[in-house]
Each structure stands twice: as C-alpha cells, then as structure tokens.
C-alpha cells in the first residue's frame, strides 16, 4: 500500500519537519514512530516540504509504503489517537504506487502572518511576527513584483549546498492587510532553505523604509547574502497548500 497523508501541525516545539537523528524532535519522526508501532515494521515517510524549525503547516502532504493491509479509516483513527495534539492527520488516502509527495508536487504556497500594531497580540503571538511600526503596503507590493519569475535566489537563502541549483520560479506574491494583520502569500515551484522567511524579511524592511524596492533586482543579481534584509521569524510562517 502507498498511503498519502494530509497533515496539519503547530511547529512551535519541533526542530522542523525533517528527522535529524532524534525523531522525537521532528514532525517526521513523531509520525514515523506511531506508524512503526502501528504496523510492526520500520516505516519511513516522504514529506512534500521540509519546513524549518518553528514553522507550521495547514496542509503538509506526505506518503509512505507498508506491506500490512489495513482499512484507511483504521490508519486515520490510530494516527490521530496516538500523535500529540499539535499534529493532526486531516486525510488518509490510498494512492498509486508511483506517487511521491516531494517529486510529484507542482507548486507550493506559503503564507506569512505579520501583526502590524503598536501593541502585541497575546492570542496570535505564537503564530505571527509582531512589527510595531507601520508598514508601507504599497512599497512592499512594488518590491514583491521583483521576486516574481525565475531567478537565482542565492542571496535570499541559507542553503549550504553549492551543487544544487539555486534557481526557483515564483509564480505570485500577494500582500493583504486586514484587522491589524498583514498576510503575505508566496506561490512557487519550490523553495530553498529559509527562502520565504528571507523574502518576507526584506519586504518588511522595504515597508519600514530601510530598503528601496528598486534594490531587489540588484541584490538578486549579485547573489550576495549580506545585502539582504533580516530573516523573518519562523513562527509567522505556514505551509498553506501543495498542488500535485
């Protein structure tokens, strides 16, 4: 059986999606431990996106294969019963044997939430970044347009590998403000390590008047990480949607 999972989680107390030895500190590790216990064989799951430490997911997608035959409802019930309450399995599906959560993903959308008021929001402090100075939305929108398209995003990433391509295609960036929140939605074919948070950090600095929007193409071209703005906090970032 090749099983597809749709997962929702609060990443606040985890070291990210990817298992890094100590499985209990990652989302992947937590789910694998429960699945291994359920079927009595070692299970490894493949996630469509390796979210960073502290980042959340509204619709993470993963798949795994197992020999044991089980009802989907039984798998679904078991996972939600034994996983911690900050990880929830929304859907369990039996998919084609060739389905691969990472390689079959066509595009991903991340959403970033900024609380843009002088005072803090005690109920959303774990799920948004607080910026107490007013942000210029129009300048941020103008800067965002420079990121759209196919570019080398070396300057806007902390990826260490020099062998892998740093080119990614950003399809759209939408910025909206409502009831004190600024929400930035970024859709692309894929994202480098810390890429969305560094893009958002630079957009915040544009909104604060620390960076001119016209500087963005030059920073992209120079591929110089020291020229980019701050990196936005992890707690405001959510993996919102994956399209296959």
Q: Do domains 2-95 and 107-243 have the same CATH topology?
A: yes
Distance CA 244, CA 234 (A): 25
Give pLDDT tens digits for 131-179. 999 999 999 999 999 999 999 999 999 988 777 899 999 999 999 999 9
Distance CA 83, CA 76 (A): 11
Instruction: Give CA separation, 133 vs 3, 120, 183, 240, in Å.
Output: 46, 12, 16, 27
The CATH number corresponding to 107-243 among 3.30.70.660, 3.40.50.300, 3.40.120.10, 3.90.76.10 equals 3.30.70.660
**Residue 181: half-sphere exposure toward Cβ, Cα within 13 Å:** 15
**CATH code for the part of the protein at 2-95:** 3.30.70.580
List, by residue number, the catalytic residues: 52
Give percent above pLDDT 70 in the chain. Answer: 99
The residues that bridge with 242 in the sheet, in sequence order, are: 108
Give pLDDT tens digits for 199-228. 999 999 999 999 999 999 999 999 999 889
Domain map of the chain by residue range?
2-95, 107-243
The H-assigned helical ranges of 70-192 are 72-82, 137-147
């Amino acid at each position: 059986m090749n099983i597809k999972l749709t997962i929702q989680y609060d990443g606040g107390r985890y070291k990210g999606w990817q298992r890094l030895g100590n499985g209990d500190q990652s989302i992947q590790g937590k789910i694998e431990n429960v699945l291994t216990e359920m079927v009595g064989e070692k299970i490894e799951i493949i996630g469509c996106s390796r979210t960073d430490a502290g980042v959340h997911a509204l619709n993470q997608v993963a798949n795994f294969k197992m020999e044991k035959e089980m009802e989907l409802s039984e798998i679904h019930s078991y996972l939600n019963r034994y996983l911690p309450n900050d990880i929830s399995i929304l859907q369990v599906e039996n998919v084609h044997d060739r389905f691969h959560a990472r390689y079959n993903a066509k595009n991903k959308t991340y959403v970033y939430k900024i609380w843009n008021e002088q005072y803090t929001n005690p109920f959303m402090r774990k799920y948004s970044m607080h910026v107490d100075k007013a942000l210029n939305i129009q300048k941020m929108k103008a800067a965002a347009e420079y990121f759209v398209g196919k570019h080398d995003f070396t300057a806007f990433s902390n990826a260490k590998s020099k062998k892998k391509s740093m080119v990614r295609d950003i399809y759209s960036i939408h910025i909206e403000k409502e009831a004190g929140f600024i929400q930035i939605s970024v859709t692309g074919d894929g994202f480098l390590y810390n890429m969305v948070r560094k893009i958002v950090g630079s957009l915040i600095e544009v909104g604060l008047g620390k960076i001119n929007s016209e500087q963005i193409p030059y920073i992209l071209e120079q591929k110089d990480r020291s020229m980019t703005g701050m990196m936005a906090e992890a707690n405001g970032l959510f993996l919102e949607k994956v399209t296959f």
